[in-house]
Amino acid sequence: MRYLLSCVALYAAVPLLAAEPPKGFTPLFNGKNLDGWHGWAIHAKGGAPADLAKLSPEDRAKKIAEWTADAKKHWSVSGDELVNDGNGAYLTTDKDYGDIELLVEYKTVAKADSGIYLRDTPQVQIWDTTKEGGKWNLSADKGSGGLFNNSKGAAGQLPLVHADKAFGEWNSFRIVQVGERTTVYLNGKLVVDNARMENFWDRKAPLPKAGKILLQTHGGEIRWRNVFVREIPATEANEILRKRDSKGFDSSFNGKTLDGWAGAVDNYEVVDGAIVCKKGKGGNLITKAEYADFTARLEYKLPAGGNNGLAIRTPNGNAHVATDAMCELQILDDTHPMYAKLDPRQYNLSAYGMVPAHRGFLRPVGEWNFAEVTVKGPTIVVELNGTRVLDADLSKVTEFKDKTPHVGKDRTSGHFGFAGHDDPVAFRKIEIRKIEK
């Protein structure tokens, strides 16, 4: 959070009419024309992301050309401002974006509402927050900047404070998104604090790993300027995720030795501040301490085709973690062709043999991934690089891979650790916080 606040201070020092983007940022609007943008009638029939993906490349290009032609009727450039008359297709970046910091200013009029879509998904909301605007029944009185399309009552769905300026004044957004974790500042005030942005198109699926930024049009003129984006590298993204809720965690690894660990200690080594399974070796390396309910955080890096696992509530270092522990959370380079035909319950961060995790959120081989695992009673929730990939109640599992019973799945306590499988998978910055009942 200190990082986020320091960035707010830096942004506050940027003049509102800055001709150049802040250091590290790229302008999305060139101040001259709509280059780099196209139209998308995303809520029209056949316009949803899934519908668009089903089209052939030729039909998709034709559809986008139609939407872009419509957008040009309603979007124009006035000086250094993008102007929309309240109608037409939404203006959409040609490029996809994942983890980003987005700066944008807007000015709107009475009765209008709008928003900013991230990764093809609605939305950071913009309201006419006055009673005369007629949207208080939709909580417009609470202010702009909330993740309006999150489930009612979910974190971030309504802004923390009302931070809108009066009509005729420019408002400024600063949005930081890492995985699903989204933080929004409106006019320098925190309105969304590291909330998960839900997937509007499929509530059961995570937010896409990447997608386009859309500027919405809805019912009245809106002007945009100083639209700048910075893509957040993996190392910085991991630190943002680590700092979002750092209280109560104890380090389980000193970065130098395997003190505090037991089991197959001879098959692991410490290399550059990380625990690494020796190539060709394996076995379970587990904490000497036992845990009941807890949250564990760590970073891990996979070699090509790498395979390991997180031992959750395992009874000892000799156990067959996948079946004797509460579960083994698979750690796997599931992008490798050799794993193309696995059971879905074997892929990365699945509760091995029991519940499949959502795929597609691993960073490229050789980059550090950030994982957070929360275990409460029979439930286990896993975030990978800021995206929830597993949310399971193991007490409800009745079907198992290969029909092999998982005798330990109902364990209420045990050790945490790693279940090595011959590959030099690396783990670092391992922290665990006990959850007191």
Q: What is the pLDDT of residues 164-194, one digit of tens each?
A: 999 889 999 999 999 999 999 999 999 999 9
In the structure, what pLDDT confidence band is assigned to residue 15 with cuts at 50, 70 and 90? very low
Residue 295: predicted pLDDT: 98
**What's the CATH number where 88 sits?**
2.60.120.560
Q: Is residue 238 part of a domain?
A: no
Q: Is residue 239 part of a domain?
A: no
Q: What is the pLDDT of residues 220-242, one digit of tens each?
A: 999 999 999 999 999 999 999 99
Residue 7: predicted pLDDT: 46
Q: Is residue 218 part of a domain?
A: yes
Position 6 pLDDT exceeds 80: no
Do 200 and 81 fall into the same domain? yes
In the structure, what pLDDT confidence band is assigned to residue 19 with cuts at 50, 70 and 90? low
Q: Is residue 365 part of a domain?
A: yes
Among 232, 267, 294, the domain boundary falls at 232
In the structure, what pLDDT confidence band is assigned to residue 433 with cuts at 50, 70 and 90? very high
Position 257 pLDDT exceeds 60: yes
Q: What is the pLDDT of residues 120-164, one digit of tens each?
A: 999 999 999 999 999 999 999 999 999 999 999 999 999 999 999
Do 124 and 87 fall into the same domain? yes
Q: How many other C-beta atoms are found inside a 10 Å radius of the C-beta of residue 246?
A: 12
Do 430 and 293 fall into the same domain? yes
Enumerate the H helices of 14-113 as residue ranges: 49-54, 57-74
Do 343 and 419 fall into the same domain? yes
Residue 271: predicted pLDDT: 98
Cα separations in angstroms, 299 against 11, 175, 349, 426: 30, 25, 13, 8
In the structure, what pLDDT confidence band is assigned to residue 437 with cuts at 50, 70 and 90? confident
Enter the pTM of the model: 0.93
Do 296 and 214 fall into the same domain? no
Position 2 pLDDT exceeds 50: no
Residue 12: predicted pLDDT: 40
Residue 25: predicted pLDDT: 98
CB-CB contact of 107 with 171 (8 Å):
yes
What's the chain's average pLDDT?
Answer: 94
Do 225 and 258 fall into the same domain? no
Which residue range forms the structural domain that includes residue 148?
A: 2-232
Residues contacting residue 50 through CB under 8 Å, at least 6 positions apart:
201, 202
